[in-house]
Amino acid sequence: MSIAAQERLVRPARNILGSLCLPGDKSISHRYAMLSAFAEGVSRFTNFSTGADCASTLACMAALGAKVNRTGPDSVEITGVAGRVTPAKHPLDCGNSGSTMRMISGLLAPQQGRFTLIGDASLSRRPMERIRKPLEAMGARLTLTEGHAPLTIDGGPLIAIDYTTPVPSAQVKSCILLAGLQTAGTTTIREAVRTRDHSELALRAFGASVTRTADSVSIGGPQPLHAIDAAVPGDLSSAAFFLCAAVLFPGSNLVLDAIGLNPTRASLLDVLTALGARISVLNLEEKHAELVGTVQISAPAEGMGSTEIGGALAAQLIDELPVLAAIAPYTSGGIRIRGARELRVKESDRIALAAKNLRAMGAEVEEFEDGLDVPGGQTLHGATIDSGGDHRIAMAFSVAALRAEGETLIQGAESASISFPEFFDLLDRVAER
Ligand code: S3P
């Protein structure tokens, strides 16, 4: 079989064994890049995300006047603009990255000038109304293209607001926080589900004061930010592919070093434990208020059980749901996912693509508007996988392929580099064949 550059053949494995260090967390890298570029002084980061998404953020911040110096493949030195960006001559290209577009919009809305943000075909289909509403409530002017990018911001001084987010979204929360940081008065965001709190922790690390209650976060403005040095924790959402691969093989033993274990991100460990995985966490420490630790995992000798995911858990696990759906046929009792409608507006419609690709591998699956029912006890066969150019779909089905009968061809495999360029090499390193 001839394989195109964008394709990858994944062969079944016999076991998952070894230890890995994973590249830096994508969410934290975006925030450190934006905040350091906005701060006063020179920040230095190691284990910075190697993904294309964070490179988009760095390029946007450089276009806005920050000095970005790549000091190594995963290290970067950023000299900030001390609170005042330069309007870019060209549109800011956010690539495939929703985090870049939504968070930078909040950073730019209070700045003087006109800013245009563009993205690739996938990003240009994703909903941006969710940031227009709160930013306009603060007095900003945002022009969208039928609810999507390209978007133009006519920036200027804003007013503080008290805003309840209609859909749980850390990106929207962060967008408002970054605008609130530069706005006189106290801006409050209320959320029904506590989404990842990397922005709150990062803002504090850069010297800002952020207060929090059980269901709200507030920031007073304007506040200056000061440069930091930091090592970015390993990305738990990238680790998810390896953790899920490890639970497929009784006798597996995998160690992942220095992984970010922020409690608003770490629900996957509870879900895998509920499925029967044996997990231990060692060397737990705090770095700039982010928890980091070594995760050791082995599969249950008796195989995985079953689980249901819904409500707040679905929101907190949103990036891990594709890989959980992909391993669900190999559980004994299946996995039921609900309350995950947001999956339909990610880099692709992840519910539709998960169902399509599970079926391509011979699995039975029922699709719902807000989730999937994947029965357990199924045998899958190798197939051609349509990743839809979505990095998490490409990687999720590479994991499903490890226990299928026969080889699996992943189309659009290069999309893994959006968050995790090293994925296929590291998978080959720990997969015993
Ligand atoms: C992210 C938040 C989530 C997540 C995305 C990264 C972040 O998106 O899916 O991959 O870094 O804040 P939403 O905030 O839109 O749910």
In one-letter notation, the amino acid at residue 39 is A
Residue 86, pLDDT above cutoff 80: yes
Q: Could you tell me if the CB of 170 is within 6 A of ligand 1? A: yes
- Percent of the chain whose pLDDT exceeds 70: 100
Check pocket membership of 27 for ligand 1, CB cut-off 6 A: yes
Residue 268 and residue 236 in contact, taking contact as beta carbons nearer than 8 Å: yes
CA of 73 to the centre of ligand 1 (A): 24
Q: Put the strands of the sheet holding 334-337 in their side by side order.
A: 306-309, 334-337, 371-374, 366-368
Indicate if 69 and 99 belong to the same structural domain: yes
Query: How far does CA 130 lie from the centroid of its chain?
Result: 18
* Domain C-terminal end among 204, 230, 256: 230
- Residue 222 belongs to some domain of the structure: yes
Tokens of 344: 């339909």
Question: What CATH number is given to the structural domain containing 348?
Answer: 3.65.10.10
354 touches 393 (CB < 8 A): yes
Shared-domain flag, residues 241 and 210: no
Cβ(99) – ligand 1 distance below 6 Å: yes
419 lines ligand 1 (CB under 6 A): no
Same domain, 79 and 222: yes
Asked if residue 238 is part of any domain, the answer here is yes
**Domain end among 186, 211, 230:** 230
Written as six digits, the tokens of 109 are 């809305």
Q: How confident is the model at residue 60 (pLDDT cuts 50, 70, 90)?
A: very high
| Rounded distance between C-alpha atoms, residue 38 and residue 35, angstroms | 5
- Residue 2 falls within a domain, yes or no? no
Q: Ligand 1 centroid vs 98 CA: distance in angstroms?
A: 8
* DSSP secondary structure letters along 48-98: ---SHHHHHHHHHHHHTT-EEEEEETTEEEEE--TT-PPPPSS-EE-TT-H
Quote the tokens at residue 193.
């589900």
Same domain, yes or no: 249 and 145 = no
- Ligand 1 atom nearest the C-alpha of 169 is 14
Q: Verify that 185 and 195 share a domain, yes or no.
A: yes
Which residue from 57, 167, 171 has its CB within 8 A of the most atoms of ligand 1, so it is best to mutate?
171
Q: How far is the CA of 393 from the centre of ligand 1 (A)?
A: 16
Same domain, 257 and 405: yes
Considering the domain architecture, whether residues 191 and 276 belong to the same structural domain is answered as no
176's enclosing H/E stretch is helix 170-180
pLDDT of residue 42: 98
**CA of 27, closest atom in ligand 1:** 11
Note the pLDDT of residue 1. 58
Same domain for 373 and 398, yes or no, is: yes
| Residue 306 counted as domain residue | yes
Give me the number of domains the chain comprises: 2
Angle at 96 between CA 95 and CA 97, to 5 degrees: 95
Return the structure tokens found at 190: 């209320």
Question: Which residues, in sequence order, are CB contacts of 92 under 8 Å at separation 6+?
Answer: 60, 63, 64, 104, 115, 116, 117, 118
Q: Are residues 251 and 204 in the same domain?
A: no
Residue 2 has pLDDT above 90, yes or no: no
Query: How far apart are the CA of 362 and the centre of ligand 1, in A?
Result: 31
> What integer is the mean pLDDT of 214-225?
97
> Is the model's pLDDT at 5 over the cut of 90?
no
Average pLDDT over residues 39-57: 98
CA dihedral 13, 17, 22, 28 (to 10 degrees): 90
Question: Is the model's pLDDT at 3 over the cut of 80?
Answer: no
Residue 404 lies in a domain: yes
Identify whether the C-beta of residue 230 lies closer than 8 Å to the C-beta of residue 20.
Answer: no
For residue 287, give every residue at least 6 positions away whose Cβ sits within 8 Å of its Cβ, in sequence order, or none: 230, 231, 233
pLDDT recorded at residue 4: 79
Which residue, by CA, sits nearest to atom 15 of ligand 1? 169
pLDDT at 353: 98
- Note whether 185 and 241 are same-domain residues: no
Q: Is 426 part of a structural domain of the chain?
A: yes
Domain-terminating residue out of 182, 215, 230: 230
pLDDT tens by residue, 338-395: 999 999 999 999 999 999 999 999 999 999 999 999 999 999 999 999 999 999 999 9
Report yes or no on 1 lying in a domain.
Answer: no
Q: Closest Cα to atom 9, ligand 1: which residue?
A: 319
Point out the ligand 1 atom lying closest to the alpha carbon of residue 342: 16
Q: Which residue's CA is minimally distant from atom 13 of ligand 1? A: 169
pLDDT at 426 over 80: yes
- 319 as an active site residue: the answer is yes
Angstrom distance (rounded) from CA 274 to CA 277: 7
Please tell me which residue in 74, 235, 319, 386 is annotated as part of the active site. 319
Where in the sequence is the domain holding 180, given as residue range(s)?
A: 26-230
- Which of these, 331, 322, 338, lies nearest to 419 by C-alpha position? 322
- Mean pLDDT over 302-324 rounds to 96
From the CB of 237, is ligand 1 less than 6 Å away? no
Compute, in angstroms, the gap from residue 379 CA to the centroid of ligand 1. 33
The CA distance from 298 to 384, in Å, is 29
Q: Are residues 301 and 409 in the same domain?
A: yes
Residues 315 and 399 in one domain: yes
Nearest-atom number in ligand 1 for the CA of 318 is 9
Torsion of CA 268, 270, 273, 277, to 10 degrees: 30
Q: What is the mean pLDDT of the chain?
A: 97
Is there a domain that residue 200 lies in?
A: yes
- First and final C-alpha spacing in the chain: 20
Contact call for residues 49 and 232 (beta carbons, < 8 A): yes
Q: Ligand 1 centroid vs 176 CA: distance in angstroms?
A: 14
Ligand 1 atom with the smallest distance to the CA of 30 is 11
